[in-house]
Structure 1
Amino acid sequence: MSGHSTYQPKTGIERWLDARLPIVRLMHDSAVSYPVPRNLNYLWTFGGILAFMLVAQIITGVVLAMHYTPNAAMAFNSVEHIMRDVNFGWLLRYLHSNGASMFFVAVYIHIFRGLYYGSYKAPREVLWILGVIIFLLMMATAFMGYVLPWGQMSFWGATVITNLFSALPVIGETIVTFLWGGYSVDNPTLNRFFSLHFLLPFMIAGVVGLHIWALHHVGQNNPTGVEVKDVKKDTVPFTPYATIKDLFGMVCFMLVFAWFVFYQPNFMGHADNYIPANPASTPAHIVPEWYFLPFYAILRAIPDKLGGVLAMGGAIVILAFLPWLDTSKVKSMTYRPIARQFFWMFVLVCIGLGYLGAMPADEPYVTISRILTVLYFGFFAALALIGIFERPTQLPTSIADSVLGGSGARLGHATASEPQAKG
């Protein structure tokens, strides 16, 4: 997609470095001259926002780790020490804790954008699968980080979630014992989770590097789903066009982030986590962080423990198979009237599951959770059938025509169902 390099070293030092380590050429080709579709909207800024949030989480996390004590007897007090005694410790902690929530806000928007515009379809299957792997690593990292304050919800959340592995036949109990470091959640558990929470973000950064590499190899998708046919007409250089757009979107996102940090820092947390962990006192209602709630609702919707674990894991893993489950040749749901309706129903189902995950495991919440769980998985089955019978609307002949218009800018219904050429 990037084509031949347009970078021209101007000074002797640049030419010397370019002949030995062309890192400046790589940066120029990736972030300056790289061609992007000219019709990208602001939903495409969330990739850049996620990269920024990952760096911010790593930096604040490393500094917090300098003051945190991963010991069951001192962890809670060390967090209070950070908040009260460390210079700007309160700011670092609120940036990190709210940053995790904003990270998931951005990633969910990023995922739904990919679903709507068919960013999982050929030739971007590997790109999409790498994104699902990043999502799984994010969830593991966030869960382990939630345990570190060692409050009531941290302790009991760790107890409930790690216990789920015991449902797995043969190896379940071994996994639980390994995670606990003994026969209950205690100091060895906290040490394990702290170590993994520190390590996993760097693994995420590595997979993000592969994700960006795959993106630059196959090129970005766009709102029409039509591939690039003429680089000069269909694309613009990444800088300044996409750079300015991404910076503006990032500033708007940071304003929302700052509002939570400075005005509502505990809005997305739980009050029970300001109570030190007490193994002898179980909270009345154990709930995970908000970004886990849809999957927690699916877990509780299945009466069998193993079935619930498999359904919860399957709700995430099934995303990796979307490139093969969706049988339509048209990428963007802008031109798929039936699939578009199912997509918005799917969004409502996910929001509903998130709400139900925060509710007690009582009626009518359990029954409604079961209905929405069926609808959640039904969406993926429906995509396979819709692609066979759906008649897409007309597609633009090119990206340039979708932006600038022009005569003969549309393809007929028959052409819309044909495979689209790779740019």
Structure 2
Amino acid sequence: MSPRPLLNRRALLRAGASLALPFALGRCHPPESTEGLEPDPAGILDLPEGFSYRILERRGALMDDGFRVPGQPDGMGCFAGPAGSNTLVLMRNHELEPGQDAMGPFTEGQRPDLAYRPEELSPGGVTRVVVDATTFTRLSSNLVLAGSMRNCAGGTSPWGWLSCEETLAEGHGYVFLCDPAASSLRAPVPIPGLGRMNHEAAVVDPESFVTYLTEDRNDSCFYRFVPETPGARLGPESRGRLQALRIESMPRAVSAEAKRGDTFRVDWVDLPSPSAQDDTLRRQGVERGAALFRRGEGLFLHGGAVFFCATTGGPQGGGQIWRYQPEGLQGGRLELLAQAEERGLLDMPDNLCVAPWGDVVLAEDGDNARWPNEFLRILTPSGEVRNLARGALGSGGEFAGVCFSPDGRALFANMQSDGLTLVITGPFQEYTGTAL
């Protein structure tokens, strides 16, 4: 069965006033533009007037447990620290694989027994950074998960951080649950029920306890896991249904053919073999009518809706931003909020997060040959896209791990190839004109 392009415009849900999109993509600044940004005297991060940054950690520095800060920092989530501690906890992925051991957390002779697949000891994993909730200064850091591979993005859950492996190497390709309270290395907690695939991100809706997942493939599905027992902690024995999203009136649709502002009625199809070892999940989905997205990546839950990126979606491969609004457990609405109608209007958005007041922060992962400096951008509900930050080191490395502090006063981010974890502060709402 072949995927089907989205060509039947009559099949669209005709949105009335009650379904009007609050987002409408307006003007965009091309990635080579530095409008609104002031050069950083240190040559690291250009920001708008009134904003500042601080480097929290650098690749290779020693953490408080004696392990090194690993390289390739990627997805990240921010959690409130223990009650009364006035701290925040950053759970940070590291997208490392065998052959990149020099950037891993281990120094000579370190082979922790609690690592996942200790016989191979892949350098990937998860680290934990504790910061002061008032000043956002670093207090401590430590290794939480070791031995996993290509820990790319992930997301939050009621039980902690979900870290996703973007690989199908033997014994890998899973989502792991990591405890934000873990002040030392813990035993790995893989969750086979969430499927084996080129995972990108995962997030749990704390109301329904449904887990949503993206897959970094050019022909990926958008997934969800519906647990048999809502509220039960995710873990190795979790049981439920892994499903892929389907556009009701257009089975096997290719979502890259959608137009900005399109809204679709969708439902979900069951996948019979979620733990298949032969990379067949998306094929299982297409055989049952699921829609395909071009490189599903960043994923974030806000206001009961799920926002996610299709990094190379759209007519020019510059990216799409989608929003899924569930309506009960049977289905809901899928809305295309923004896309690059011309290459460069969006430059392959990867990680994303939504501010408490509704702005979407996009971490770009674009064409490094054309634009050696990546950007953080803000998409406002009015449709304006604004520059927020520009990596000034010229390495062409992507931004990743964007997440706000719970009060919205600070944005945390990673500069991946430069091995830096940063905190950015400033008048975010005044800058975009978006009010709570």
TM-score band by shorter chain is under 0.3
Q: If the length of structure 2 is used for normalisation, what is the TM-score? A: 0.24
Q: Using CA pairs below 8 Å that are at least 6 residues apart, which structure has the higher relative contact order?
A: 1
Q: If the length of structure 1 is used for normalisation, what is the TM-score? A: 0.25
